[in-house]
Amino acid sequence: MSGCYLQVTYRLGRPLAAYYYLPRRSGQKSCRSKEAAPGLVVDYARNGRPIGIEITAPSLVTLQAINRVLKGLGFPALKRAELKPLRKAS
């Protein structure tokens, strides 16, 4: 996958969890995870490259917190509009 994208899982119309996919090779899977901030867990591939961010507490996580994690991983910041699906049902 060449680009980044957000996938949100809903339960009863509310966001239950979300996953922000980072660029990765097809079929690449997580081999370890590390909490980067409250409600944010980074998944890493076998080669140590970050491949995604689990958003375990969608209603509590802020844009600023996600962007701090992305910056620390060397990825560009998200715009507020990119988190709209996560906030829309909150």
Inside any domain, residue 54: yes
48: in domain: yes
In a domain, 87, yes or no: no
34 within domain boundaries:
yes
Q: Is residue 82 assigned to a domain? A: no
Cut 0.85: pTM above it? yes
Q: Per residue of the chain (90 residues), give pLDDT as tens.
A: 568 999 999 888 888 899 999 998 888 889 999 999 999 999 999 999 999 999 999 888 999 999 999 999 999 999 999 888 887 655
Domain membership of residue 84 (yes or no) is no
67 in a structural domain? yes
The domain of 40 spans 5-76
Contact between 86 and 66 under an 8 Å Cβ cutoff? The reply is no
Does a structural domain hold residue 26?
Answer: yes
List the beta strands (DSSP E) in the chain.
5-11, 14-21, 32-37, 40-44, 50-55
Q: Structurally, how many domains does the chain consist of? A: 1
Q: Classify strands 5-11 and 50-55 as parallel, antiparallel or unpaired.
A: unpaired
